[in-house]
Structure 1
Amino acid sequence: MKILICPDSFKDALPAADAARAIARGARRASSNLDILECPLADGGEGSLDALLAATGAERRTARVHDALGRPTRADWGWHAKSRTAYVELAEASGLQQLTPNERTALNSTTLGVGELIREALDAGAEHLLLTLGGSATNDGGAGMLTALGARLRDGEGHELTPGGAALAGLAELDLTGLDPRLAGLRVETAVDVDNPLLGERGASAVFGPQKGATPEDVARLDIALARLAEVTAETLDEDHRDLPGAGAAGGMGFAARAFLGAELRPGIELVMAQAGVEALMADADLVITGEGQLDGQSLAGKAPVGVSRAARRHGVPVVVLAGRLAPGWQAALDEGVTTAFALADGPMALDEALSRCAELLADRTESLVRLWIAAAGRQP
């Protein structure tokens, strides 16, 4: 009996690899006669680089870059020499989790470090870039990334704009003559975990700005600024991508990736699963166990458990989701291939306790469900 274990991370509790180990531990407590394969995943958010490195055997590299506030920092990226593929996770350089709540400023944060990582990949000879966009602290429409890659953004007096999304309101000229010419030979795939457009009530600023420190007044300023970026970009490139699903990902980085890097925007879980060869693994599995911190109605927009379940359904394999919390609307996942889902808590508990006991709770829930699964199959443990 073969079990494929492929969870995402449990935010603030366990990385995906640790979650997979905990689930496997519980399964082995239920029976020593199981063939268990651990395949930690990610949906394009934090932890995507780790999942991709584990799936592909790519080399982890480290570069000196700038964080979302322009401070020097170190960020990891991945390099797969055989395929000339680079893996860049935006959150490594410009991630929200790297900032304290008091440091979060959607008006002035920058994606400069992401562009610096892409430049590192180009220096290594990359021909294929897989860029994941979740977990950003930024709302600059990719302006910082463009600057790092040689573009120049100027105001009406010819002065270069200061970093951050707010400054884009004064954008008058987008000079791409200095853009790194090696980008022309780079195939870019971008992993997004949302389908929001760039602007408006479902746009980058309105939906994601508040968690990055934006007040209601800031949101209005940022939406106007990103609209100006979209207008100047359309005039410069004769293409308009502001309404593209996923353009609003990572404060408009989805827009920039498509407009300036020619990227294909795809659900992050699909890209990570493709790199990990999950479809082939599922074809030989009897049961799939996946999970993440919360399963709810929004999970259908591209979260890992639903992506896994949709793939498993194509192979006729049952899927169990283990979630820290089953929130309103989670039942919609049952129509996407999820067989059943369980919350981890074994009784009333505070959030801090649930987070600290996450590995233990995952193992316990898994042991129970695997024992039930074996009994239902009429087999001996």
Structure 2
Amino acid sequence: MQKAVIAIDSFKGSLSSLDAGKAAAEGIYRVFPEADAVIRPVADGGEGTVEALVSGLNGKFMEAQVRDPLGRRITAKYGILPDNTAVIEMAAASGLTLLSEAERDPMHTTTYGTGEMILDAIHRGCRSFIIGIGGSATNDGGIGCLQALGFGMLDNAGKQVEYGAKGLSELVRITDNNVIPELKECSFHVACDVTNPLCGINGCSEVFAPQKGADKNSIRLMDEYLRSYAEIAKCYAPSASPNTAGSGAAGGLGFAMMYFLNAELQSGVELVIRETRLEEAIKTADIVITGEGCLDSQTCMGKAPVGIAGIAKKYGKPVIAFSGAVRRGAELCNSSGIDAYFPILRSVCTLEQAMDKENAYKNLADTAEQVFRTIRLSGMLTKNK
């Protein structure tokens, strides 16, 4: 074996994509010290996307002072790639994990901080953006983000409406008089695997707002507010439709990105794979290594390991996956391009012990070593036939 391409998604709460790749490479080098183990950090557009792209493409991290979902000042991190593309996770400013359970209420949470992150990157000269919109605490249709960029989301008195979905109930007019002129020069690629529309039984209020703290009454009201917002938006973007697939992503931020920022929504996995030029590396590989924290039936529904396996199979490459845990339905991965998968736990332990970064790194390296010892043995047996 000469070349292994390693593209493992993060083991969330334990190993980053880059650390998981390094652990697997360590295990390979113990068996094949002459091998070329190429690490390509990956993510699906959610948590870890900034780290994966910045570390994988030798970018740099930036910090911006922004508002959190309740308008409090926080420091949010994003990345800038060598080609000056900004990589932003909206969850860094507008994410659910920034709030305690008692603070969660999408009637009042805003995407304003996400707009401030975009603004900060524009001021640093960025004109191309990759934005991951998973993990939001919001259901404001993205109006907070637009307000930060200079759009007027105005009430009857001509003043900016308040934060959150509540602000949508006050909205009567949208203006762009104060939008920063540089915005016209910007292009946005949004990592989004959600296909929900803005409104209705499959809309963001019905499907996602409950986990963000909404009760039945506020869900009904927010759906009405968003439907009205979509009608008002047609005055600015005549093609705006609440039924567009993905418009309900991140509490309607998908709608705002598409119709006010001309964003292209696409699969998070595909976007990251394209940016890291993973396919080029796979073309010349002898074997492809992938994985994630847990392999199960959900892995086959657009997650990174199966996306990577699909590319590998395009070029006839064998694929092995490592994971922290394997659950029911993981066997479906075998029919989705993953030839064999291996959980890395080496002994009975607590969840805390399994999630410990040092333990997880060692477990992954040790498991990779044993798998590649088997591969070496298989090669020896084949030669002896």
Per mean C-alpha deviation after superposition, the further-off stretch among 128-137 and 213-222 is 213-222
1:233 and 1:239 in contact (8 A); partners too:
no
TM-superposed CA distance for 1:128, in Å, is 1.4
1:105 equivalent to 2:109? Answer: no
Distance in 1 (alpha carbons) for counterparts of 2:232 and 2:129? 26
TM-superposed CA distance for 1:350, in Å, is 3.8
What amino acid is aligned across from residue 9 of structure 2 in structure 1?
D
TM-superposed CA distance for 1:297, in Å, is 3.0
1:74 equivalent to 2:75? Answer: yes
**SS of equivalent to 1:377:** helix
- Equivalent in the alignment of 1:61: 62
Residues 379/21 of structure 1: CA separation in 2 closer, same or farther (3 Å cut): farther
Distance in 1 (alpha carbons) for counterparts of 2:300 and 2:228? 31
Residues 251/361 of structure 1: CA separation in 2 closer, same or farther (3 Å cut): farther
Residues 220/346 of structure 1: CA separation in 2 closer, same or farther (3 Å cut): farther
Distance in 1 (alpha carbons) for counterparts of 2:215 and 2:352? 28
1:45 and 1:193 in contact (8 A); partners too:
no
Deviations 1:251-308 (A, max 9, x none): 2222211111101111111111111110111011111111222233333443211221
TM-superposed CA distance for 1:72, in Å, is 0.8
The structure that has the greater radius of gyration is 2
- Equivalent in the alignment of 1:137: 137
Query: Unaligned 5+ residue runs, structure 1?
Result: none
TM-superposed CA distance for 1:17, in Å, is 1.6
What amino acid is aligned across from residue 288 of structure 1 in structure 2?
V
Alignment of 1:1-381 (within 5 A): 1=1, 2-80=3-81, 83-346=83-346, 348-356=348-356, 357-378=359-380
1:197 and 1:247 in contact (8 A); partners too:
yes
**SS of equivalent to 1:45:** coil
Per mean C-alpha deviation after superposition, the further-off stretch among 2-11 and 83-92 is 83-92
Give the TM-score normalised by structure 2.
0.90
Residues 55/335 of structure 1: CA separation in 2 closer, same or farther (3 Å cut): same
Compute the RMSD of aligned alpha carbons.
2.3
**SS of equivalent to 1:63:** strand
**SS of equivalent to 1:288:** strand
1:193 and 1:303 in contact (8 A); partners too:
no
Residues 129/31 of structure 1: CA separation in 2 closer, same or farther (3 Å cut): same
What amino acid is aligned across from residue 6 of structure 1 in structure 2?
A
Per mean C-alpha deviation after superposition, the further-off stretch among 264-273 and 70-79 is 70-79
TM-superposed CA distance for 1:349, in Å, is 4.3
Distance in 1 (alpha carbons) for counterparts of 2:117 and 2:190? 14
Distance in 2 (alpha carbons) for counterparts of 1:156 and 1:298? 46
Residues 334/230 of structure 1: CA separation in 2 closer, same or farther (3 Å cut): farther
What amino acid is aligned across from residue 377 of structure 1 in structure 2?
G
What amino acid is aligned across from residue 237 of structure 1 in structure 2?
A
Aligned length: 379
**SS of equivalent to 1:325:** strand
Residues 219/14 of structure 1: CA separation in 2 closer, same or farther (3 Å cut): farther
Give the TM-score normalised by structure 1.
0.91
1:68 and 1:110 in contact (8 A); partners too:
yes
TM-superposed CA distance for 1:40, in Å, is 1.3
